[in-house]
Amino acid sequence: MTAQALETRALVAGYERDLPIVRGVDLNVRAGEFVVLLGPNGAGKSTLVKAIAGLVPIHAGAVLINGEDSTFSPPHQKIRRGLAFVPQTENVFATLTIEENLRLAADILPNNVRARRIDELYAMFPDLAARPGRRAGQLSGGQRQMLAAARALIVAPSLLILDEPSAGLSPKIAAEVFARLQAINATGVTIVLVEQNVKAALAVASRAVILVEGEARHEGSAAELADDPIVAELYLGAAKAGA
């Protein structure tokens, strides 16, 4: 099957029209792939995925989700086309309980499957099932990420995009997050991951795209890039320039 889960065509996006952060990115993600977006700070990775999700204005180009043109669709329509997006921060509703966070997301599902999906997610994340009445604002960092992932997964998306899910987590919990992502990918969900943690990301991803200055500069299988000096150089170079 050659179906495209996600495609961007010459995408130009950014908060201000005259100062785009993403400058003409072509991205092709096949169904079932696990793609990681790498690049130095300020390369536009985060802005790119936010634009795809509908959170950052798009000034030119196109976004296709599962083959459907979604360039100017509001986020709630993109969700109904199979996209799920987990932002890096503020990714749960702190004033809502765990249960309410999940039910909110499940509300777009048909009546008869809602309760079942919530139970399935609780089975997947037993930590959350333990105290469903707890406000999300009281959860630890790791628990929040779990809730954010559960909230995104509840609608059984075909395409899951995550913005640095490991940020701020301890290495042990981060490893757990990556393992879970791999497991989710194994069930057929396409994953696009923005990550700073290059080694860990390349270990789980099938392919990597490297963004520099708002453009997709390099692309290759995760295995190839893991040993490529260009990766190390990019990050080191950026660290020097950005300091």
Within residues 167-206, the interface with another protein by CB under 8 A covers none
CB of 182 to another protein, least distance (A): 23
Q: How many residues bind another protein, per CB under 8 A?
A: 42
Among 61, 82, 87, 165, binds another protein (CB under 8 A): 87
Tokens 């520099």 locate to: 212
C-alpha–C-alpha distance, residues 79 and 21, integer Å: 24
140 binds another protein (CB under 8 A): no
Selected range binding another protein among 3-11, 63-71, 84-92, 224-232, rule: CB under 8 A? 84-92
Please give the Cα distance from 143 to 101 (Å, whole number).
13
Is residue 53 a contact partner of residue 227, using CB atoms and an 8 Å limit? Answer: no
The bridge status of strand 58-65 relative to strand 68-69 is: antiparallel
Give the distance, in angstroms, between the CA of residue 20 and the centroid of all CA atoms in the same chain.
21
Residue 68 sits in the site that holds another protein (CB under 8 A)? no
- Binding mask of the shown chain, residues 108 to 127, with x at each position contacting another protein by CB under 8 A: x-------------------
For the CA atoms of 188, 178, 33, 194, the dihedral, rounded to the nearest 10 degrees, stands at 130
x/- letters, 213..242, toward another protein (CB under 8 A): -x----------------------------
Site string for another protein, 16-55 (x = CB under 8 A): ---x-x-------------------xxxxxxx--x--xxx
CA dist., res. 157 & res. 159, Å (int): 5
- Neighbouring CB atoms inside 10 A of 46's CB total 22
Stretch that binds another protein, among 4-12, 61-69, 148-156, 176-184 (CB under 8 A): 148-156
Task: Say how far apart CA 200 and CA 179 lie, in whole Å.
Answer: 10
Sorted by sequence, the CB contacts under 8 Å of residue 181 that are 6+ apart come out as: 34, 162, 165, 191, 193, 204
List interacting residues with another protein (CB under 8 A). Answer: 15, 19, 21, 41-47, 50, 53-57, 74-76, 79-80, 84-85, 87, 89-96, 100, 103-105, 107-108, 151-152, 155, 214
